[in-house]
Amino acid sequence: MKLRGKILISLTTVIIFMGLFQSLFFQTRVEKIFENYLSENDEMKIDMMKQTVISYYNSTGSLKGVDQFLESSNRIMMNMGKMMGNQDETIGIIIADTAGEIVANTTPKNMENNASSVTEPIVIEGKTIGTFKAYPIKSASVSRIEQQFVQSVNLTILLGFLFAGIITLIIGFFLSKKITSPLSQLVSGIEHVSKGNTKYQVKIDSKDEFKQLGDAFNQMTETLEKTEHIRKSLVADVAHELRTPLAIIRAKLESIQAGALEATEEVILNVSDEVYRLSRLVNDLQQLSLAESKTLSLHKKRTEINGFMESILSQFEWFADEKGIKLQLNKSSNDLFIEIDQDRMTQVVVNLLGNALRYTPDNGTVTVHVKVEGESVVLSFKDTGPGIDEQKLPFIFERFYRIDDSRKRDEGGAGLGLSIAKGFVEIHGGNINVTSTKGEGTEFKVSLPIQ
82-93 per-position pLDDT tens digit: 555 554 456 777
pLDDT category at 159 given cuts 50, 70, 90 is confident
State the pLDDT at residue 308.
Answer: 93
Helix, strand, coil % over all residues of the chain, rounded to 5: 60, 15, 25
User: Is the pLDDT score of 113 beyond 80?
Assistant: no
Identify whether the C-beta of residue 446 lies closer than 8 Å to the C-beta of residue 425: yes
User: Is the pLDDT score of 112 beyond 70?
Assistant: no
Give SS3 for 436: strand
Instruction: Phi first, then psi: give them for residue 141, nearest 5 degrees.
Output: -65, -40
Identify whether the C-beta of residue 90 lies closer than 8 Å to the C-beta of residue 78: yes
Would you call 360 exposed, middle or buried from its count of C-beta atoms within 10 A (0-12, 13-18, 19+)?
A: buried
b/e map 245-279, b = 16+ CB within 10 Å: beebbeebeeebeeeeeeeeeeeeeebeebeebbe
Helix 3-60 / helix 66-83 crossing angle, nearest 10 deg: 150
Average pLDDT over residues 159-165: 78
pTM comes to: 0.50
User: Is the pLDDT score of 423 beyond 70?
Assistant: yes
Q: How far apart are CA 432 and CA 430, in angstroms?
A: 7
Give SS3 for 62: coil
Instruction: Tell me the range of 25-34, 123-132, 259-268, 301-310 where mean pLDDT is highest.
Output: 301-310
State the pLDDT at residue 1.
Answer: 59
Determine which of 87-101, 239-253, 312-326 has the lowest per-residue pLDDT on average: 87-101
Instruction: Phi first, then psi: give them for residue 4, nearest 5 degrees.
Output: -60, -45
Distances (CA, A) of 52 to 108, 112, 431: 20, 21, 103
Q: In 10 A of CB 421, how many CB atoms?
A: 25
Structural domains of the chain sorted by starting position, each given as residue range(s) with its CATH number in brackets? 3-144 (3.30.450), 209-292 (1.10.287.130), 300-449 (3.30.565.10)
Left, alpha or beta for 375 (phi > 0: left; psi -120 to 50: alpha)?
A: alpha
User: Is the pLDDT score of 3 beyond 70?
Assistant: no
pLDDT category at 145 given cuts 50, 70, 90 is low
Distances (CA, A) of 133 to 92, 101, 108, 121, 154: 8, 13, 13, 8, 37
pLDDT category at 407 given cuts 50, 70, 90 is very low
Identify whether the C-beta of residue 134 lies closer than 8 Å to the C-beta of residue 46: yes
Average pLDDT over residues 111-140: 72
Distances (CA, A) of 245 to 133, 271, 289, 307, 383: 125, 9, 22, 39, 32
State the pLDDT at residue 435.
Answer: 92
User: Is the pLDDT score of 443 beyond 60?
Assistant: yes
Averaged pLDDT score across all residues of the chain:
79
Determine which of 50-59, 341-350, 376-385 has the lowest per-residue pLDDT on average: 50-59
Q: How far apart are CA 192 and CA 183, in angstroms?
A: 14
pLDDT category at 290 given cuts 50, 70, 90 is confident
State the pLDDT at residue 311.
Answer: 93
State the pLDDT at residue 408.
Answer: 47
Nearest to 414 by CA among 422, 423, 402, 425: 402
Average pLDDT over residues 423-445: 91
User: Is the pLDDT score of 418 beyond 80?
Assistant: yes
State the pLDDT at residue 370.
Answer: 93
Query: What is the Cα gyration radius of the chain?
Result: 52
State the pLDDT at residue 116.
Answer: 61
Q: How far apart are CA 301 and CA 308, in angstroms?
A: 12
pLDDT category at 431 given cuts 50, 70, 90 is very high
Average pLDDT over residues 246-252: 84
State the pLDDT at residue 327.
Answer: 92
User: Is the pLDDT score of 69 beyond 70?
Assistant: yes
171-205 per-position pLDDT tens digit: 777 777 777 777 778 888 888 888 888 788 888 77
Nearest to 310 by CA among 411, 228, 379: 379
State the pLDDT at residue 248.
Answer: 81
Q: How far apart are CA 294 and CA 176, in angstroms?
A: 44
Distances (CA, A) of 261 to 67, 245, 246, 420, 442: 152, 18, 17, 38, 46
pLDDT category at 301 given cuts 50, 70, 90 is very high
State the pLDDT at residue 270.
Answer: 82
Q: How far apart are CA 203 and CA 186, in angstroms?
A: 9
Q: How far apart are CA 292 and CA 399, in angstroms?
A: 12
What is the H or E stretch that residue 147 is in? helix 140-194
